[in-house]
Structure 1
Amino acid sequence: MSTTVEVVALHVSPVHAYEGRPADGPRPDPEPVSRDRVVVRAGLGLVGDRYFNRPAHRRAAVTFFAAESLDHVAEALGLAAAPDPLLVRRNVVLRGFDVDALARHDVFALDSGDGPVRFEVGRPANPCAWMDAVIAPGAFAALRRRGGVRCVPLDDGVLGRGPAVLLA
C-alpha cells in the first residue's frame, strides 16, 4: 500500500534534553535539532543522533511520530494551536499516516525523493511525563497510545522534509 505523506519535522540531537526532573526544565541543546535532511545508516540510526550506533538502542534507533497526535493534544487540552512537533523529540514526524497502528516487526519504507529507506518497527515510543512540562499539563495523558514507534533502519539513505511516499 502506497500513501502520500508529509515529513513535517526531522529531529537529530546528540544529547538528551529531557533528563532529570521535569520541574527543573529541559537541558538546552548544544546545536539546533531541526533538520531539513537526515542521513540514515542501516542498523545504526540517524547520523549525529544520540541513539546512533548505541548497542542498547539498535532495535529502536529511529522514532516515528504522527503529527495528527499533536492535533489531538491541542483539541483535548483546548490549546490554540498544535504544539511544535520538535517538542516530542521524535526523529521523524509524519502527517498522513497512523504510525501508532504499526505493529512490532512491520516493515515500511519512506521515500522523500532520494529513494526508499526501509524501517522495521521495534516497539512503541511511549510518551513521558516531560510532555506535561514542555507542551502543557495533561499532554502526557493525551499522548498515551499516540507516542509513535521506535524502529531499526534496514537501509542506508537520506530522508528530507516535505512530501514523501510511505509504502507499508
Structure 2
Amino acid sequence: MPEIVQLLASPVHRFVGRPADGPVPAAAGELVDEIQVRAELGIVGDRYFGKAAHRQASVTVIAAESLPAGTGLAQVRRNILTRGITVDDLVGSVLVLDSGQGPVRLRANRAAHPCAWMDVTIGPGAWRGLRGRGGLRCTPLTDGFLRVGPVDVTIEDDPARRR
C-alpha cells in the first residue's frame, strides 16, 4: 500500500553557498507529521510558500525507493517522501494524494534534479546516483492537508498539458 513516509516544511534554506562549506543547521521542527497545502502557493510554513519564482516548484515529492537506506528529507530537501509511488514517471500528470482528510492535487511540472549537495548530505556518489530519480517539482492545485501514513493515490492526465 502506498504511504507518505516523511513530510518536511522548512522555513530556512539549508543549502547555501558551496557544498564544501556544509549545510546551514536545520530549523527545529522541520520534519512534521502533517502539512497544510495551499493551491498555487505551496506548503504553509515552508521557505518557498507564496514565492512567485517557485510557484511551479513549491512542493517537491521524492520516492523512498530512489534513496539509499536511511536517507530522508533532511538530506534531500524535498517536501514529501513517499513509498509505493513511482513519482519520477509522473511529469506531465496530476498526482492526487489523500491521506484521510480529502484529496490534494499536485501538478507534476518537471523533474527535481539532484545537485552536488547530495554528495555532502548523503555521501560520495549520491549526486550521480540520483540522476533521473530526484523526484518531482509540483504546483498544488487544491488546498488540503497531508499526513504521514497510508495514502490513497490517483494519477490524472493534466488537461493543461494538452493545449
Q: Which of the residues 97, 102, 116 maps onto 2:90? A: 102
Q: Which of the residues 60, 74, 79 maps onto 1:91? A: 79
RMSD value, Cα: 1.0
- Number of residue pairs matched? 155
Matches within 5 A, 1:62-77: 62-70=59-67, 74=68
Distance verdict in 2 for CA 1:14–1:85, change over 3 Å:
closer
Q: Is the 8 A contact 1:120 1:152 kept in 2?
A: yes
Question: Are 2:145 and 1:158 equivalent residues in the alignment?
Answer: yes
| 1:95-145 C-alpha deviation (Å, 9 max, x unpaired) | 0011000123x1121000101111111111100100000111000000000
Amino acid in the other structure paired with 1:14: P
Deviation at 1:29, TM superposition (A): 2.3
Question: Are 2:27 and 1:40 equivalent residues in the alignment?
Answer: no
Deviation at 1:86, TM superposition (A): 2.8
Amino acid in the other structure paired with 1:20: G
Alpha-carbon separation, structure 2, partners of 1:24 and 1:55: 29
Deviation at 1:59, TM superposition (A): 1.1
Q: Report the counterpart of residue 117 of structure 1 in structure 2.
A: 104
Structure 1 vs Structure 2: percent identity of aligned residues? 54
Q: State TM-score, norm by structure 2.
A: 0.92
Deviation at 1:31, TM superposition (A): 2.2
Structure 2: which 5+ runs fail to align?
A: 156-163
Secondary structure of 2:55's counterpart equals helix
Secondary structure of 1:118's counterpart equals strand
Secondary structure of 2:2's counterpart equals strand
Q: Report the counterpart of residue 128 of structure 1 in structure 2.
A: 115
Q: Report the counterpart of residue 29 of structure 1 in structure 2.
A: 26
Amino acid in the other structure paired with 2:34: R
Alpha-carbon separation, structure 1, partners of 2:117 and 2:11: 18
Alpha-carbon separation, structure 2, partners of 1:30 and 1:7: 21
Q: Report the counterpart of residue 52 of structure 1 in structure 2.
A: 49
Amino acid in the other structure paired with 1:30: A
Q: Is the 8 A contact 1:67 1:85 kept in 2?
A: no
Q: Is the 8 A contact 2:73 2:79 kept in 1?
A: no
Amino acid in the other structure paired with 1:22: P
Structure 1: which 5+ runs fail to align?
A: 75-80
Q: State TM-score, norm by structure 1.
A: 0.89
